[in-house]
Chain A
Amino acid sequence: MKGKWSVLPVIGLFLAALVLGGCGQGLSGAITVGGSTTVQPLAAKWAEAFEANNPEVEITVQGGGSSAGVKGCAQGTFDIGAASRELKASETSDYPDLVVTHVAADGVAIVINPSNNIISDLTLEEIKGIFATGSNDTWTVINREEGSGTREVFEKKVMAGMEVASNSEFLPSNGAVKQKVAATANAIGYISLGYVDSSVKALNIDGVACNEANCVDGSYPVTRYLNFITKGEPEGLGKEFIDFCLSQEGQELAVEEGYISVK
């Protein structure tokens, strides 16, 4: 009998904790973040840290591409859409209530195979020429698919209105481009700075290295914001999460992952 009653205070404490937790600091619930494959690894890091601070919260991070992020957010599939580009005019007119928050910035690195030790520096014009010509005996050109946020930035800042050649390869994610460039001796492609590691070599553009400092001061030309998109101003758990991403801890995580702080 005694043993049975001694459990009561424990239950009481547990209930009290639950009630206090419910109205106090402890957040709970689940949200889904999805879209850009550029933002995906960073969002996953943020989610992991946020979940560690708030054990009752579950954040699911998905890929799919920037456009899928915008569409998914507008249609309610994602609580937060991730896009590595700004909204297009067609998107703002279709979904006028979307709100964009810059959560980090990113450089787009022009990458080649590390075995290519002749070239480490190209001019913007040379890169433009290579991508406008497409694959030949000198280069195997790896592009991203139509609608990719990374490709859009690349087309705007490097191609400046010129078309990328059809006879280059088109792969559907940063990871796929990196894998192909790493496996092909004469390949050239472009990926988010956050994906760059020793398996590929990032080129200098006009002598400027693709690194955080050069992206921040604007001397490296191919940069963009990474965005979280919400339907209306962020609120509830979504707002807490975005605030965390923008906090010092969140931005330090972004820098650790190879992205650039917006603070």
Chain B
Amino acid sequence: MSRYFIDRISRHIVSIFGIIAFLILVLIFIFILKESLPALQGIGIGDILFGSKWYPSHEAFGILTMLAGSVVATLLALVISVPLALGCAVFLAEVAPPRVRQITRPAVELLVGIPSVVYGLVGMIILCPLIARLSGTGSGSSVLAAAVVLAIMALPTISSISEDSLHAVPAQYREGALALGATRWQTIHHVLLPSARRGITAAIVLGTGRAIGETMAMVMVIGNSPIFPTNIFAPARTLTGNIAVEIASATGMHESVLFVTGLVLFILVMLINSIGLIAYRRQAS
């Protein structure tokens, strides 16, 4: 009798926790929306989203340059990160001897645990001067520096989910291919990677979500210039950086527009992560 009682109670308790987690998300969304309202009404979403000039003290509140900055930095990061992460996943899942895997796998996963400010610090002290020397001008704060840092940060996410989906490919596929005389590389290239396609897509999309939301490291290496990212050696600004750099100093309409920036970011990341999760579930089922 009491056994079933405890069973029922604990079921209710965990459901409450589950609902709280969901409520927090909803509350954050409502809060951001509420703080955004003055700007959405006073300036209008069109002028904010498609305005290319940012100068709040002179009433210019366009965030298009930062939207472009976030997107370009993230895409460039993926160009660097995806081949690296896929190679890493294939190595860990198919090639590495068990001893090597035992060391390499935790090392890659530990990359997730490094605080982003540390990535920013390394980027600022080592990467930026290097890029400055490469380009011959400027301080090295640039889209390229941001992309390299983001690529390293997205690497473990992409690599570990891809590895999981390679492991999930049924052993018969691998055995079948090898039995038909395919070499190991042919098996990986023609059988395993195509079979794990959806999981790998999900991994890339989730890595994208991670990259586009990154803040601290971006503020430290991208230079925070509200201009279009037309040159990878020139600085730019991300949506996240816009909030982080200015929120402490912002009042009134300026503050409200920063919340709109947050709203845009929120929706963008939700969208990207939903796509990733849907792709991931399809793979799983």
Told that A167-B234, A172-B248, A184-B138 touch, could you supply 19 new A-B pairs with CB distance under 8 A?
Answer: A65-B249, A66-B249, A68-B248, A137-B137, A146-B249, A147-B56, A147-B249, A148-B249, A166-B55, A169-B224, A170-B226, A172-B224, A172-B245, A179-B124, A180-B139, A180-B141, A183-B128, A183-B129, A186-B137
The stretch of B38-46, B80-88, B193-201, B250-258 in contact with A is B250-258
Residue numbers in A under 8 Å from B140 (CB-CB): 184
B219 within 8 A of A: yes
A126 within 8 A of B: no
Minimum C-beta distance from A133 to chain B (A): 13
Tell me if B250 and A147 are in contact (CB < 8 A).
yes
Binary B-proximity of A144-158 (CB < 8 A = 1, otherwise 0): 011110000001000
Q: A166-B225, A168-B225 are in contact. Are A91 and B251 (CB under 8 A)?
A: yes
Number of interface residues of A (CB under 8 A): 33
Q: Which of B129, B132, B224 lies in contact with A145, CB distance below 8 A?
A: B224
Residue numbers in B under 8 Å from A45 (CB-CB): none
Tell me if A166 and B227 are in contact (CB < 8 A).
yes
Q: Which of B58, B219, B249 lies in contact with A67, CB distance below 8 A?
A: B249
B109 within 8 A of A: no
A90 within 8 A of B: yes
Residue numbers in A under 8 Å from B226 (CB-CB): 166, 170
Question: Which are the 7 A-B pairs with shortest beta-carbon distances?
Answer: A147-B249, A184-B139, A169-B223, A67-B249, A65-B248, A170-B224, A68-B248
B119 within 8 A of A: no
Minimum C-beta distance from B96 to chain A (A): 39
B54 within 8 A of A: yes
Residue numbers in A under 8 Å from B58 (CB-CB): 163
Can you give 8 contacting A-B residue pairs, CB < 8 Å? A65-B249, A94-B251, A135-B234, A140-B138, A146-B250, A166-B54, A170-B245, A184-B140
Q: A68-B249, A170-B245, A172-B245 are in contact. Are A146 and B56 (CB under 8 A)?
A: yes
Binary A-proximity of B228-269 (CB < 8 A = 1, otherwise 0): 000000110100000011101111101000000000000000
Within 8 A of A (CB), among B48-100: 53-58, 65
Minimum C-beta distance from A213 to chain B (A): 31
Residue numbers in A under 8 Å from B249 (CB-CB): 65-68, 145-148
A142 to B225, CA, bound (A): 10
A135: nearest chain-B partner, CB-CB: B138
A170: nearest chain-B partner, CB-CB: B224
B236: nearest chain-A partner, CB-CB: A167
Q: Which of B53, B124, B234, B251 lies in contact with A147, CB distance below 8 A?
A: B251
Residue numbers in A under 8 Å from B250 (CB-CB): 67, 146-147
Q: A145-B245, A163-B58, A166-B55 are in contact. Are A187 and B139 (CB under 8 A)?
A: yes
A88 to B57, CA, bound (A): 12
Residue numbers in A under 8 Å from B65 (CB-CB): 166
A64 to B252, CA, bound (A): 17
Within 8 A of A (CB), among B200-235: 219, 223-227, 234-235
A107 to B102, CA, bound (A): 58
Minimum C-beta distance from B54 to chain A (A): 7
Residue numbers in B under 8 Å from A148 (CB-CB): 249
